[in-house]
């Protein structure tokens, strides 16, 4: 039977409005959460596969929601990007991570790299570098100990501008890594042109190692590519000894994953590492 167009339209409208209302309440919550200091950072160690030393700590944000509890970034980062609230949130994350790095350096607990996820929206923001540099200089952490994790899609919208931004960051001493490597749509030619330090093999290619033949081929190819281009290669989401052994056998440099440690609060991580 033919449906009535007006009726459908009205139905569509009312469900749209409902949707918009939920979204705007969420946006408001998100905005207040930034003001109310409801975001916390967890940290996950990155391990050198040859020495087993901790080379880095990746900062991963969580929202300590007053009603919903601890929220994963999957619940709010995408929306924060759409609304551009990721700009203030991203600066807050950068500041928190540097303050933590500074404390760990002062206590001589950890002197390695602090890795911070940076959204495309931040990279494309005109005064991104000025803003993070102001924070960095105030906290007095060397750019040499900061790694910015960006995704392949960061170069897709405006390759010229983003490559300039990355070049400036590199000149200032920051390290740049490509997160979720292998899942984007970028051509490989940019790898030569951009000032990169590290490729992070996406977790989806690690999960079914060493069993899955396709994943074997893909992870080996990424490791070989990294070697040729003189980039460090880190495997994400390593959960088993078998995965780790496969990565060592195939020349991967470093790993991150539940096998060594889950992301934890700074305090939890400190006691975890003291016990081990």
Residue ranges that bind ligand C2E, judged by CB under 6 A:
44, 59-61, 72-74, 77, 93, 117, 119, 179-180, 203, 236-239, 256-258, 263
- Residue pair 49/252 in contact (Cβ under 8 Å)? The answer is yes
Residues 243-262 that bind Ca ion (CB under 5 A): none
Please work out the total of residues on this chain that contact Ca ion, with binding judged by CB under 5 A: 5
Task: Pick between residue 123 and residue 191 the one whose CB is nearest to ligand C2E.
Answer: 123
The CB-side HSE value for 213 (13 A sphere, CA atoms) comes to 0
Place of tokens 């991150």: 256
Task: Find out whether 47 and 247 touch, Cβ atoms under 8 Å.
Answer: no
**Residue 223 site contact among Ca ion, ligand C2E, none (CB < 5 to 8 Å, cut-off depends on kind):** none
Judged by beta carbon, residue 18 or residue 208, the one nearer ligand C2E is 208
Residue 215, contacted partner among Ca ion, ligand C2E, none, CB below 5-8 A by kind: none
Which residue lies nearer to ligand C2E by CB, 4 or 68?
68
Cα separation, 68 vs 105, in Å, equals 34
**Interface with Ca ion by CB under 5 A: which range of 34-42, 93-101, 235-243, 260-268?**
235-243
Residue 119 CA to its chain's centroid (Å)? 8
Measured from the CB atom, is 13 or 128 closer to ligand C2E? Answer: 128
Shortest Å, Cβ 5 to ligand C2E: 41
Cα 71 from Cα 63, distance rounded (Å): 5
Q: Is 179 in the site for Ca ion (CB under 5 A)?
A: yes
Q: Among residues 125, 109, 2, which one has the least CA distance to residue 45?
A: 109
Per CB under 5 A, which region of 9-17, 115-123, 166-174, 209-217 contacts Ca ion?
Answer: 115-123
Please report how close the Cβ of residue 58 comes to Ca ion at its closest, in angstroms: 6
Near Ca ion by CB under 5 A, which window of 88-96, 101-109, 172-180, 211-219? 172-180
User: Which tokens is 63 given?
Assistant: 């929202």
Residue 37: exposed, middle, or buried by beta-carbon count in 10 A (0-12, 13-18, 19+)? Answer: exposed
> Minimum distance from CB of 8 to ligand C2E (Å)?
37
Please tell me whether residue 149 binds Ca ion under the rule CB under 5 A.
Answer: yes
H helical segments located in 69-212: 77-82, 86-106, 120-124, 128-139, 159-172, 189-193, 203-206
Is residue 180 close enough to count as binding Ca ion by CB under 5 A? yes
The one of ligand C2E, Ca ion, none whose footprint includes residue 120, by CB under 5 to 8 A per kind, is none
Q: Say which DSSP state 184 is in.
A: S
Question: Would you say the C-alpha torsion 131, 133, 138, 142 has a positive or negative sign?
Answer: positive
CB of 108 to ligand C2E, least distance (A): 26
Residue 219 binds Ca ion (CB under 5 A): no
Q: Both tokens of residue 248?
A: 């060592």
Angle at 45 between CA 42 and CA 51, to 5 degrees: 170
Q: Is 152 in the site for Ca ion (CB under 5 A)?
A: no
Contact residues for Ca ion, defined by CB under 5 A: 117, 149, 179-180, 236
């Amino acid at each position: 039977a033919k449906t009535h167009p007006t009726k459908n339209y009205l139905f569509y409208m009312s469900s749209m409005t409902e949707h918009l209302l939920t979204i705007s309440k969420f946006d408001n919550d998100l905005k207040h959460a930034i003001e109310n200091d409801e975001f916390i950072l967890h940290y996950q160690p990155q391990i050198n596969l040859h020495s087993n030393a901790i080379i880095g700590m990746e900062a991963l944000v969580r929202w300590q929601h007053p009603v919903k509890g601890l929220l994963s970034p999957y619940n709010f980062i995408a929306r924060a990007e759409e609304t551009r609230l990721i700009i203030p949130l991203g600066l807050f994350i950068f500041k928190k991570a540097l303050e933590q790095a500074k404390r760990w350096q002062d206590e001589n607990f950890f002197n390695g790299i602090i890795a911070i996820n940076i959204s495309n929206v931040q990279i494309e923001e005109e005064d991104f570098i000025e803003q993070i540099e102001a924070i960095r200089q105030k906290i007095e952490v060397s750019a040499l100990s900061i790694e910015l994790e960006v995704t392949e899609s960061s170069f897709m919208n405006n390759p010229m501008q983003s490559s300039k931004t990355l070049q400036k960051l590199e000149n200032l001493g920051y390290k740049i890594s490509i997160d979720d490597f292998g899942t984007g749509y970028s051509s490989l030619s940019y790898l030569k042109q951009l000032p990169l330090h590290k490729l992070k093999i996406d977790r989806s290619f690690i999960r079914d190692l060493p069993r899955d033949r396709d994943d074997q081929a893909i992870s080996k190819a990424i490791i070989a590519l990294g070697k040729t281009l003189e980039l460090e290669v880190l495997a994400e989401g390593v959960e088993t000894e078998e995965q780790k052994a496969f990565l060592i056998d195939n020349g991967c440099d470093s790993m991150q994953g539940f096998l060594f440690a889950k992301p934890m609060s700074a305090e939890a991580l400190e006691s975890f590492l003291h016990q081990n």
